[in-house]
Amino acid sequence: MARPESTPHMPPIEIPALKDYSPGALDGFFGEILALFDQDASAATTVETVEELRIRWIGRKQGLLTRISEVLKGAPPEARREVGIRFNALKSAIEPRCDPEQLKATAPVTDAIDITLPGTRRALGAEHPLVRTMHEIVSVFRNLGYSVEEGPVIETDYYNFEALNFPPNHPARDTQDTLFIAGQESKPQRDRLLLRTHTSPVQIRTMEKMKPPLRIVIPGKVHRNDAPDATHSPIFHQVEGLAVDTDVTFSDLKGTLDHAMKALFGSSVKTRFYPSFFPFTEPSADVQISCIFCGGKGYRDGNRCPNCKSSGWIELLGCGMVDPNVFGFVDYDSTKVSGFAFGMGVERIAILKYGVDDIQLFYQGDVRFLEQFL
């Protein structure tokens, strides 16, 4: 007589009697056991009760299967095969259903769900404001027929400086507080690695692989050794542009950027080109837009406009005509083609567009800040 097995939630089970070892008696015996298991298993609807089911049926020591196999040890040799086949079939029917994983597949829908409860709202992700601004800038230029290029963030001295007409030891390099990768003193200077300080090296990489005409924008991450504060971050983003063709003029540059600034900030903004210097453009200019906070007046509600320091203008990006020396580095014939380039800070544009007062907010991952851009 088998010992009844009992667990806190389930009534004890008795192993049915086995009259003889004929195939018919065996079928009856195993059929009854499976029916018992089915009954037992139908009550196991929680992880806890499935675990009880498992211990009770396939637990190593006290499990019913173990005890059934002991009962069957008494089978005469000629019946062993028939017993074995049926025992294994029973085992493979039972085992998977003693795994709490199966609850997921077969959980009854009935009382597991209270339809009066409010639903679980799954928060939808959204583009980060910087990525969104970057996409917006890029799409303004895509609409003008520009295509997108990208390049490595870890760059060589050659691409970041030398080929952009910053000669070794030239003081113009000091304007970019460069983060160099350590331990490269044994390499020739042009091969030394650094974190690119601007997206301009991708101008060179693209001109090396493509012949003119060329119209590209280059969005990407850049680094400079600046201490973080409300307006500075050692990591920031730029979108670079480059157009090279026959007869490209400064007027084309002005028209293109004037259009882009209107597309980004509204059709009433004006642009102004102010003389500047970059080693890789000649002439070079800083582009200013009329202040979007005071409408270019310099005064707002009778007070000096703090955003443009009452000048009416906000400086936004650098640009210029590609210096012929740069074409020399990439085998473009500067007697046949000309071009312009520009580079703008994504953070700066996002700060102005969305009225953000601290650049650090972009990098802190605070949902209260980010969800305002949904």
Interface residue list for ligand PHE (CB under 6 A):
198, 200, 240, 278, 281, 318-320, 341-343
Say if residues 360 and 233 touch (Cβ distance below 8 Å): yes
Cis peptide before 213 (omega within 30 of 0): yes
Report, in Å, the least distance between residue 158 CB and ligand PHE. 16
Q: Which is nearer to ligand PHE, 90 or 289 (CB)?
A: 289
Query: What are the φ/ψ torsions at residue 131 (nearest 5 degrees)?
Result: -65, -40
**Beta strand pairing status for 313-322 and 193-195?**
unpaired
Please, which residue, 5 or 240, has the CB nearer to ligand PHE?
240
Dist. CA 242–CA 245, nearest whole Å: 10
Contact 132, 373 (CB under 8 A): yes
CB closer to ligand PHE, 151 vs 318: 318
Please calculate the CA angle 99-100-103 and round it to the nearest 5 degrees. Answer: 115
CB of 226 to ligand PHE, least distance (A): 12
Angle at 90 between CA 87 and CA 95, to 5 degrees: 120
Contact of 207 with 328, CB cutoff 8 Å: no
- Shortest gap between Cβ of 129 and ligand PHE (angstroms)? 21
CB of 133 vs ligand PHE, minimal distance in Å = 17
- Nearest-angstrom CA–CA distance, 26 and 305: 95
Residues 78, 25 contacting (CB under 8 angstroms):
no
Task: Give the C-alpha distances (Å, rounded to integers) separating 96 from 32, 101, 140, 208, 303.
Answer: 19, 9, 58, 61, 77
User: How far apart are the C-alpha atoms of 42 and 112, rounded to whole Å?
Assistant: 15
Q: Tokens standing for 7?
A: 């667990």
Please state the closest distance from residue 285 (CB atom) to ligand PHE, in A: 8
Closest CB to ligand PHE among residues 65, 319 = 319
Name the β-bridge partners of 315: 288
* Closer of 87 and 278 to ligand PHE (Cβ): 278
Q: How far is the CB of 278 from ligand PHE (least distance, A)?
A: 4
Q: Compute the CA torsion angle 296, 240, 350, 129 (nearest 10 deg).
A: 160
Choose between 312 and 320: whose C-beta lies nearer to ligand PHE.
Answer: 320
Nearer to ligand PHE, 90 or 322 (CB): 322
Give the residue nearest to ligand PHE (CB): 343
Phi-psi region of 53 (alpha: psi -120 to 50; beta: other; left: phi over 0): alpha
CB of 360 to ligand PHE, least distance (A): 20
| 18 versus 341: smaller Cβ distance to ligand PHE | 341
Shortest separation between residue 146's beta carbon and ligand PHE, angstroms: 14
Measured CA angle at 234 (ends 223, 309), to 5 deg: 110
Residue number with CB closer to ligand PHE (57 or 236): 236
Give whichever of 41 and 322 is closer to ligand PHE, judged by the CB atom. 322
**What's the min distance (Å) between Cβ of 310 and ligand PHE?**
26
148 beta partners = 217
Which structure tokens are listed for 364? 């802190």
Rounded Cα–Cα distance for residues 343 and 319 (Å): 6
CB of 281 to ligand PHE, least distance (A): 5
